[in-house]
Amino acid sequence: MLSVFWSREFLLNRSFLWLLFLVNLAGTIYGYIWYEGQLFDTLQHHPLWRIVFVPDSPTASLFFTLALLYLLYPPSPSNRIASIGRSIIEALAVVCSVKYGIWAVAMIVAGAWQGADLYWQHYMLIASHLGMAFEALLFFRFMKAGTAALAVGTGWLLLNDTVDYTFGIFPYLADELDDDLSAVRAFTFALSIISFAAAWLVWRFRKKV
């Protein structure tokens, strides 16, 4: 019975896709609002071009929201440019959602482990970010992106990591993690590679079924 909820027929049902689209769109908007303070601070103290690297999770959610539109309205396979654009957006949706979904949960748990207070918003963020990673891997089997597109998406992640930790615009951390910044940085870079590996394994499995 539960297998019905994992089936192509259920997951690609247009009503369900539209519901998922609206949920992710709302989460994306909320995510950018969550980053409001850091966005303004970055605009005041950094060159304008760095602003695009600040909001990590909502940008990942935005990519996945766009990927859902491709499932709802797939471009013609004969349109080469549109197909390449779709593959890159889908790859970004998957690797970014997996990476930042896990990263956010890990940082919240690590902060709490060292004594940071947890509020209801933290539990909401844990649930929503785990959902980001899960839905990305779940739906990747229906997407068109392959190894090359995943490599492009991972390149973006590594560029984002480099800008974040070179110029100090990484997401705000709990005060308890300030003395663990080198470990956080290493974990962040490693998670970019792990996200690629997880997506690639799903892609390989999809190719065999």
pTM: 0.93
- Average model confidence (pLDDT) across the chain: 93
Percent of all residues in the chain with a pLDDT value above 70, rounded to a whole number = 96
- Distance CA(41)–CA(59), nearest Å, equals 18
3-state helix, strand, coil in the chain (%, to 5): 85, 0, 15
Tens-digit pLDDT profile for residues 64-108: 999 999 999 998 888 889 999 999 999 999 999 999 999 999 999
Helices (H), ranges, 35-172: 36-45, 56-72, 80-113, 120-139, 147-167
pLDDT of residue 209: 45
Tens-digit pLDDT profile for residues 107-130: 999 999 998 888 989 999 999 999
The yes-or-no verdict on residue 2 having pLDDT over 60 is no
Beta strands in 55-177 (DSSP E): none
